[in-house]
Amino acid sequence: MVDTKVTLSGIELDNPVIPASGTFGFGYEFAELYDINMLGTFSFKGTTKEARFGNPTPRIAECPSGMINSVGLQNPGVEKVISEELPKLKKCFNKPVMANISGFSIDEYVYCCEKIDKEPQVGWLEVNVSCPNVHGGGMSFGVSPESAAEVTKAVKAVTTKPVYIKLSPNVTDIVSIAKACEEAGADGISMINTMLGMRINLNTKKPVIANKMGGFSGSAIMPVALRMVYQVYEAVNIPIIGMGGITTAKDVIEMMLAGATAVQIGAANLVEPFACKNIIEDLPRVMEKYNIKSLKDIIGGAH
């Protein structure tokens, strides 16, 4: 009998599989397909202070081994998430959920995190620092150690629950940013967010996506994500949630060997709604194949 349980900042998960923010809505849509209580947990749709319609369409482009999206954080705003989405979720999910928070200023991050931290359903806060900083010329908070640390410190001052900072791979040195977040009080790191990519339509000779560029995700980015998780694991002493191109139970094992305590599945959910269910069901077989008794024992095992 294998043991798939892992512990994320003091909260035990039945398995390390977590659908990634933006690919699983607020959960109840998937609950119509299968019992989502089989998941470790999930990270809900990126939430901002005000409601957002998102970017102009088209905002999805397919590519070999992946996809590009520029949805633009479409969400109903934090007040509505608390008053409408969480009560709906409660009817179909009885585990702590991960709240993904985005902001365009430090004040906005603080406002949203302080609000959502009070919700009993929320187990962890996942703070996305890949948003453009409106007061910093539009550069994302996650591109410099200083600004990432500033967000971390501000959010930690108003929250009681574990805070995971979600890092962008579109930087020269992700390790220094992860270390800065740890020093500022982060309880964990989520990595990686999407890479930057684009496609061009040969008929129109113009970019496919209205925004020209978007976030590239899917199985093609797994080696990059794996490398970054491996590097950050060597530099920090806080848990890592690894993500980027994971599509199989074998990928989960590989990401955990690189240093992830848990993993997130993103683009795979958009191609196959049962992706997470299939991975969870296949995990025990893959563990037995590679003679793994407990997943807790393999975290960082490749180092």
Instruction: Give the pLDDT score at 134.
Output: 65
Place of tokens 């997470």: 276
Q: What percent of the chain has pLDDT over 70?
A: 98
What is the DSSP secondary structure assignment for residue 294, as one 8-state letter?
A: B
Residue 303 lies in a domain: no
Question: In this model, does residue 143 exceed pLDDT 90?
Answer: yes
Calculate the average pLDDT of the chain: 96
Give per-residue pLDDT as tens, 197-255: 999 999 999 999 999 999 999 999 999 999 999 999 999 999 999 999 999 999 999 99
Whether 187 maps to a domain, the answer reads: yes
Catalytic: which of 112, 113, 131, 181?
131
Q: What is the rounded average pLDDT of the residues 32-42?
A: 98
Q: Which residue has the tokens 């992706």?
A: 275
Number of H helices, E strands in the chain: 10, 15
Domain with residue 175: its CATH number is 3.20.20.70
Q: What is the pLDDT of residue 130?
A: 84
- Residue 100 forms part of a structural domain: yes
Predicted structure pTM score = 0.97
- Of 15, 23, 103, the residue nearest 66 (C-alpha): 23
pLDDT of residue 52: 95
Query: What does the pLDDT average to over 162-178?
Result: 97
Tell whether the model's pLDDT for residue 193 goes beyond 70: yes
Contacts of 27 (CB under 8 A, 6+ apart): 36, 42, 44, 89, 92, 93, 97
Rg of the chain on CA atoms, in Å? 18
Q: Is residue 229 part of a domain?
A: yes
Cβ-contact 114, 158 below 8 angstroms: yes
- 87: how many CB neighbours lie within 10 A of its CB? 10
pLDDT of the residue at 132: 67
Do the beta carbons of residue 196 and residue 44 sit within 8 Å? no
* Of the candidates 134, 171, 165, 172, the residue with the CA atom closest to the CA atom of residue 150: 165
Residue 131 annotated among the catalytic residues of the structure: yes
Query: CA 264 to CA 9: how far, in whole Å?
Result: 16
The answer to whether residue 103 scores a pLDDT higher than 70 is yes
Instruction: Say if residue 192 is preceded by a cis peptide, omega within 30 of 0.
Output: yes
1 found inside a domain: no
Domain that holds residue 285: 6-298
Q: Please indicate, yes or no, if residue 175 is contained in any of the structural domains.
A: yes
Task: Give the per-residue pLDDT at 102.
Answer: 96
- Render pLDDT for 256-302 as a digit per residue (tens, 0 to 9): 999 999 999 999 999 999 999 999 999 999 999 999 999 999 999 99
> How many domains does the chain contain in total?
1
